[in-house]
Amino acid sequence: MAVYSIKDLEKISGIKAHTIRIWERRYGLIHPKRTSTNIRYYSDEDLKKLLNISILNQNGFKISKIAGLDEHQLRDRVLDLCIDARNNNVQIESLMVSMLELDERKFLNVLSGAVIKYGFEDTVEQILFPFLERVGMLWQAGTINPAQEHFISNLIRQKMIVAIDNEMQNIAVKGPRIIFFLPEDELHEIGILFYSLLARKEGLDVVYLGMSVPLADLKLVHQVRPADAFFTSFVTAREKNQLEGLLQQLRDYFPEVPFMVSGMQIKELHPRLPDDFSVISSIKTFKENIRLLMFSD
Protein backbone atom coordinates (compact mmCIF):
# COMPACT_ATOMS: atom_id res chain seq x y z
CA MET A 1 0.00 0.00 0.00
CA ALA A 2 1.32 3.43 -0.94
CA VAL A 3 1.72 6.15 1.67
CA TYR A 4 1.10 9.82 0.88
CA SER A 5 1.78 13.02 2.75
CA ILE A 6 -0.74 15.84 2.63
CA LYS A 7 1.60 17.64 0.21
CA ASP A 8 1.45 14.57 -2.08
CA LEU A 9 -2.35 14.76 -2.02
CA GLU A 10 -2.22 18.48 -2.82
CA LYS A 11 0.13 17.93 -5.77
CA ILE A 12 -1.82 15.01 -7.24
CA SER A 13 -5.38 16.27 -6.68
CA GLY A 14 -4.86 20.01 -7.04
CA ILE A 15 -6.73 20.58 -3.76
CA LYS A 16 -4.88 22.82 -1.30
CA ALA A 17 -3.62 21.14 1.87
CA HIS A 18 -5.49 23.74 3.93
CA THR A 19 -8.77 22.77 2.22
CA ILE A 20 -8.11 19.05 2.75
CA ARG A 21 -7.62 19.65 6.48
CA ILE A 22 -10.88 21.64 6.69
CA TRP A 23 -12.75 18.82 4.93
CA GLU A 24 -11.23 16.34 7.37
CA ARG A 25 -12.23 18.29 10.46
CA ARG A 26 -15.62 19.60 9.37
CA TYR A 27 -16.99 16.70 7.33
CA GLY A 28 -14.83 13.69 8.16
CA LEU A 29 -14.40 12.99 4.44
CA ILE A 30 -11.07 11.23 4.85
CA HIS A 31 -9.36 9.86 7.94
CA PRO A 32 -5.55 10.06 7.91
CA LYS A 33 -3.44 7.85 10.08
CA ARG A 34 -0.49 9.16 12.05
CA THR A 35 3.09 8.06 12.46
CA SER A 36 4.71 7.51 15.82
CA THR A 37 5.88 11.14 15.61
CA ASN A 38 2.28 12.34 15.01
CA ILE A 39 2.70 13.17 11.30
CA ARG A 40 -0.37 12.63 9.10
CA TYR A 41 -0.18 10.11 6.26
CA TYR A 42 -2.75 8.86 3.77
CA SER A 43 -3.48 5.63 1.87
CA ASP A 44 -4.47 4.75 -1.69
CA GLU A 45 -8.08 4.64 -0.50
CA ASP A 46 -7.81 8.19 0.85
CA LEU A 47 -6.34 9.40 -2.46
CA LYS A 48 -9.04 7.71 -4.56
CA LYS A 49 -11.79 9.14 -2.38
CA LEU A 50 -10.27 12.62 -2.53
CA LEU A 51 -10.02 12.47 -6.34
CA ASN A 52 -13.68 11.43 -6.57
CA ILE A 53 -14.69 14.22 -4.19
CA SER A 54 -12.73 16.71 -6.30
CA ILE A 55 -14.55 15.59 -9.46
CA LEU A 56 -17.96 16.13 -7.88
CA ASN A 57 -16.97 19.41 -6.26
CA GLN A 58 -15.69 20.80 -9.60
CA ASN A 59 -19.06 19.98 -11.11
CA GLY A 60 -21.18 21.90 -8.65
CA PHE A 61 -21.74 19.42 -5.83
CA LYS A 62 -21.50 21.03 -2.41
CA ILE A 63 -19.11 19.43 0.05
CA SER A 64 -21.90 19.11 2.60
CA LYS A 65 -23.90 17.02 0.09
CA ILE A 66 -20.87 14.92 -0.91
CA ALA A 67 -20.23 14.14 2.76
CA GLY A 68 -23.67 12.51 2.92
CA LEU A 69 -22.94 10.02 0.11
CA ASP A 70 -21.81 6.50 0.87
CA GLU A 71 -18.96 4.90 -1.11
CA HIS A 72 -21.23 3.37 -3.80
CA GLN A 73 -23.22 6.56 -4.28
CA LEU A 74 -20.01 8.56 -4.59
CA ARG A 75 -18.65 6.27 -7.31
CA ASP A 76 -21.95 6.18 -9.20
CA ARG A 77 -22.18 10.00 -9.31
CA VAL A 78 -18.58 10.23 -10.52
CA LEU A 79 -19.13 7.59 -13.22
CA ASP A 80 -22.14 9.49 -14.55
CA LEU A 81 -20.04 12.65 -14.81
CA CYS A 82 -17.09 10.89 -16.42
CA ILE A 83 -19.15 9.66 -19.35
CA ASP A 84 -20.37 13.16 -20.20
CA ALA A 85 -17.81 15.50 -18.66
CA ARG A 86 -16.98 18.90 -20.12
CA ASN A 87 -14.07 19.58 -17.81
CA ASN A 88 -10.80 17.90 -18.79
CA ASN A 89 -9.79 17.63 -15.13
CA VAL A 90 -12.72 15.31 -14.55
CA GLN A 91 -11.44 12.83 -17.12
CA ILE A 92 -7.86 13.15 -15.87
CA GLU A 93 -8.84 12.50 -12.27
CA SER A 94 -11.13 9.67 -13.33
CA LEU A 95 -8.22 8.03 -15.16
CA MET A 96 -6.17 8.42 -11.97
CA VAL A 97 -8.83 6.59 -9.99
CA SER A 98 -9.15 3.83 -12.60
CA MET A 99 -5.38 3.34 -12.47
CA LEU A 100 -5.33 3.13 -8.66
CA GLU A 101 -8.25 0.66 -8.75
CA LEU A 102 -6.82 -1.32 -11.72
CA ASP A 103 -10.25 -0.86 -13.33
CA GLU A 104 -9.83 -1.46 -17.07
CA ARG A 105 -13.51 -1.01 -17.93
CA LYS A 106 -13.70 2.39 -16.25
CA PHE A 107 -10.48 3.51 -17.92
CA LEU A 108 -11.70 2.52 -21.39
CA ASN A 109 -15.13 4.10 -20.83
CA VAL A 110 -13.58 7.43 -19.85
CA LEU A 111 -11.08 7.32 -22.71
CA SER A 112 -13.67 6.32 -25.32
CA GLY A 113 -16.03 9.07 -24.19
CA ALA A 114 -13.25 11.64 -24.51
CA VAL A 115 -12.28 10.41 -28.00
CA ILE A 116 -15.89 10.69 -29.16
CA LYS A 117 -16.15 14.20 -27.74
CA TYR A 118 -12.74 15.65 -28.67
CA GLY A 119 -11.21 13.32 -31.28
CA PHE A 120 -8.15 11.12 -30.80
CA GLU A 121 -5.42 13.76 -31.16
CA ASP A 122 -7.00 16.29 -28.78
CA THR A 123 -7.76 13.55 -26.25
CA VAL A 124 -4.11 12.52 -26.19
CA GLU A 125 -2.83 16.09 -25.89
CA GLN A 126 -5.41 17.53 -23.49
CA ILE A 127 -6.17 14.49 -21.32
CA LEU A 128 -3.70 11.62 -21.69
CA PHE A 129 -0.49 13.68 -21.63
CA PRO A 130 -1.49 15.66 -18.48
CA PHE A 131 -2.63 12.39 -16.92
CA LEU A 132 0.73 10.76 -17.68
CA GLU A 133 2.52 13.76 -16.15
CA ARG A 134 0.64 13.11 -12.91
CA VAL A 135 1.55 9.42 -13.12
CA GLY A 136 5.17 10.48 -13.58
CA MET A 137 4.96 12.60 -10.42
CA LEU A 138 3.68 9.60 -8.48
CA TRP A 139 6.40 7.38 -9.94
CA GLN A 140 9.19 9.79 -9.04
CA ALA A 141 7.79 10.27 -5.54
CA GLY A 142 7.80 6.48 -5.08
CA THR A 143 4.13 6.48 -4.14
CA ILE A 144 2.78 4.42 -7.03
CA ASN A 145 2.80 0.65 -7.28
CA PRO A 146 4.74 -0.39 -10.42
CA ALA A 147 1.90 -2.75 -11.31
CA GLN A 148 -0.52 0.19 -11.43
CA GLU A 149 1.77 2.18 -13.73
CA HIS A 150 2.35 -0.82 -16.00
CA PHE A 151 -1.37 -1.57 -16.09
CA ILE A 152 -2.35 1.87 -17.32
CA SER A 153 0.67 2.37 -19.61
CA ASN A 154 -0.03 -0.91 -21.41
CA LEU A 155 -3.68 0.01 -21.95
CA ILE A 156 -2.67 3.33 -23.51
CA ARG A 157 0.09 1.68 -25.52
CA GLN A 158 -2.42 -0.81 -26.96
CA LYS A 159 -4.64 2.08 -28.09
CA MET A 160 -1.69 3.81 -29.76
CA ILE A 161 -0.58 0.67 -31.60
CA VAL A 162 -4.10 0.02 -32.92
CA ALA A 163 -4.26 3.62 -34.17
CA ILE A 164 -0.84 3.25 -35.86
CA ASP A 165 -1.84 -0.05 -37.49
CA ASN A 166 -5.00 1.55 -38.86
CA GLU A 167 -3.06 4.54 -40.17
CA MET A 168 -0.41 2.44 -41.91
CA GLN A 169 -3.03 0.79 -44.11
CA ASN A 170 -3.95 4.12 -45.74
CA ILE A 171 -0.63 5.93 -45.90
CA ALA A 172 1.66 6.87 -48.77
CA VAL A 173 5.17 7.78 -47.62
CA LYS A 174 6.28 10.94 -49.38
CA GLY A 175 8.28 12.92 -46.84
CA PRO A 176 11.69 12.87 -45.16
CA ARG A 177 12.78 10.15 -42.73
CA ILE A 178 12.47 10.63 -38.97
CA ILE A 179 13.83 8.17 -36.40
CA PHE A 180 11.92 7.88 -33.12
CA PHE A 181 13.81 6.46 -30.14
CA LEU A 182 14.31 6.69 -26.40
CA PRO A 183 17.85 6.84 -24.93
CA GLU A 184 19.14 4.15 -22.60
CA ASP A 185 17.18 3.88 -19.32
CA GLU A 186 14.18 5.71 -20.82
CA LEU A 187 11.20 3.34 -20.75
CA HIS A 188 8.16 5.61 -21.18
CA GLU A 189 7.36 5.40 -24.87
CA ILE A 190 3.75 6.57 -25.09
CA GLY A 191 4.78 10.09 -26.07
CA ILE A 192 7.00 9.01 -28.95
CA LEU A 193 4.41 6.44 -30.07
CA PHE A 194 1.87 9.23 -30.38
CA TYR A 195 4.16 11.59 -32.25
CA SER A 196 5.25 8.77 -34.56
CA LEU A 197 1.56 8.32 -35.39
CA LEU A 198 1.25 12.01 -36.26
CA ALA A 199 4.40 11.77 -38.40
CA ARG A 200 2.92 8.83 -40.33
CA LYS A 201 -0.27 10.81 -40.88
CA GLU A 202 1.83 13.61 -42.38
CA GLY A 203 3.40 11.12 -44.79
CA LEU A 204 6.88 10.98 -43.24
CA ASP A 205 9.09 7.91 -43.50
CA VAL A 206 9.05 6.76 -39.85
CA VAL A 207 11.65 4.45 -38.34
CA TYR A 208 10.47 3.54 -34.84
CA LEU A 209 13.10 2.05 -32.50
CA GLY A 210 11.29 2.27 -29.17
CA MET A 211 12.76 2.42 -25.69
CA SER A 212 16.28 2.32 -24.20
CA VAL A 213 18.31 2.47 -27.43
CA PRO A 214 22.12 2.57 -26.99
CA LEU A 215 23.84 5.36 -28.90
CA ALA A 216 25.99 2.86 -30.80
CA ASP A 217 22.86 1.10 -32.07
CA LEU A 218 21.30 4.42 -33.02
CA LYS A 219 24.40 5.31 -35.01
CA LEU A 220 24.25 1.96 -36.84
CA VAL A 221 20.60 2.52 -37.79
CA HIS A 222 21.48 5.99 -39.06
CA GLN A 223 24.20 4.49 -41.25
CA VAL A 224 21.78 1.98 -42.79
CA ARG A 225 18.81 4.34 -43.08
CA PRO A 226 20.04 7.93 -42.68
CA ALA A 227 17.69 10.14 -40.70
CA ASP A 228 16.59 13.60 -41.78
CA ALA A 229 15.62 14.18 -38.13
CA PHE A 230 15.49 12.40 -34.77
CA PHE A 231 12.71 12.53 -32.18
CA THR A 232 13.28 11.56 -28.56
CA SER A 233 11.81 12.14 -25.10
CA PHE A 234 13.03 12.41 -21.51
CA VAL A 235 10.79 11.36 -18.62
CA THR A 236 13.15 9.60 -16.19
CA ALA A 237 14.38 11.92 -13.44
CA ARG A 238 17.85 13.37 -14.00
CA GLU A 239 19.92 16.29 -12.80
CA LYS A 240 19.89 19.23 -15.20
CA ASN A 241 23.61 18.91 -15.96
CA GLN A 242 23.19 15.19 -16.72
CA LEU A 243 20.39 15.94 -19.16
CA GLU A 244 22.41 18.67 -20.84
CA GLY A 245 25.37 16.29 -21.13
CA LEU A 246 23.22 13.66 -22.81
CA LEU A 247 21.78 16.20 -25.25
CA GLN A 248 25.29 17.35 -26.16
CA GLN A 249 26.36 13.73 -26.62
CA LEU A 250 23.55 13.26 -29.14
CA ARG A 251 24.69 16.36 -30.98
CA ASP A 252 28.30 15.08 -31.03
CA TYR A 253 27.21 11.72 -32.44
CA PHE A 254 24.98 13.28 -35.10
CA PRO A 255 26.38 16.78 -35.78
CA GLU A 256 24.34 17.50 -38.92
CA VAL A 257 20.91 16.08 -38.01
CA PRO A 258 18.12 18.12 -36.31
CA PHE A 259 16.59 16.78 -33.11
CA MET A 260 13.10 17.18 -31.69
CA VAL A 261 12.91 16.61 -27.92
CA SER A 262 9.96 16.32 -25.55
CA GLY A 263 9.02 14.90 -22.16
CA MET A 264 8.50 15.98 -18.57
CA GLN A 265 12.22 16.51 -17.85
CA ILE A 266 12.58 18.90 -20.79
CA LYS A 267 9.51 20.78 -19.58
CA GLU A 268 10.59 21.01 -15.95
CA LEU A 269 14.36 21.46 -16.18
CA HIS A 270 14.55 23.81 -19.21
CA PRO A 271 18.00 22.49 -20.22
CA ARG A 272 20.36 24.43 -22.43
CA LEU A 273 19.87 22.97 -25.91
CA PRO A 274 22.55 22.32 -28.52
CA ASP A 275 22.19 23.93 -31.94
CA ASP A 276 19.33 22.63 -34.09
CA PHE A 277 17.45 21.06 -31.16
CA SER A 278 13.74 21.94 -30.93
CA VAL A 279 11.43 21.44 -27.96
CA ILE A 280 8.12 19.78 -28.88
CA SER A 281 5.55 20.96 -26.37
CA SER A 282 2.34 20.35 -28.34
CA ILE A 283 0.86 18.91 -31.51
CA LYS A 284 1.06 22.39 -33.01
CA THR A 285 4.81 22.76 -32.43
CA PHE A 286 5.41 19.25 -33.77
CA LYS A 287 3.52 19.93 -36.98
CA GLU A 288 5.35 23.24 -37.41
CA ASN A 289 8.68 21.41 -37.14
CA ILE A 290 7.48 18.76 -39.58
CA ARG A 291 6.56 21.40 -42.14
CA LEU A 292 10.00 23.01 -41.80
CA LEU A 293 11.62 19.61 -42.23
CA MET A 294 9.59 18.81 -45.35
CA PHE A 295 10.28 22.25 -46.83
CA SER A 296 14.03 21.96 -46.23
CA ASP A 297 14.03 18.49 -47.77
Rounded to whole angstroms, the Cα distance separating 267 from 87 reads 24
Q: End-to-end alpha-carbon separation of the chain, Å?
A: 53
Sign of CA dihedral 144, 183, 156, 10: positive
215 confidence band (pLDDT: 50, 70, 90)? very high
Average pLDDT of the residues in 207-212: 94
Cα–Cα nearest to 163, from 126, 130, 193, 207 = 193
Under a CB-based contact definition with an 8 Å cutoff, are residues 118 and 126 in contact? yes
211 confidence band (pLDDT: 50, 70, 90)? very high
The average confidence (pLDDT) of the chain is: 85
Rounded to whole angstroms, the Cα distance separating 261 from 296 reads 19
Average pLDDT of the residues in 94-121: 84
246 confidence band (pLDDT: 50, 70, 90)? very high
Rounded to whole angstroms, the Cα distance separating 235 from 182 reads 10
Tell me what pLDDT residue 274 has: 96
Rounded to whole angstroms, the Cα distance separating 289 from 254 reads 18
Rounded to whole angstroms, the Cα distance separating 258 from 277 reads 6
Helix boundaries (H) for 142-275 = 146-168, 190-201, 215-224, 240-253, 264-269
Tell me what pLDDT residue 240 has: 92
Tell me what pLDDT residue 216 has: 94
Tell me what pLDDT residue 86 has: 55
pLDDT at 88 over 80: no
Angle (CA) 43-157-218 rounded to 5° is 115
Q: Give the best-scoring range by mean pLDDT among 82-86, 129-133, 191-195, 293-297.
A: 191-195
pLDDT > 70: percent of the chain: 90
Rounded to whole angstroms, the Cα distance separating 33 from 43 reads 9
| Kind and range of the H or E run holding 82 | helix 71-83
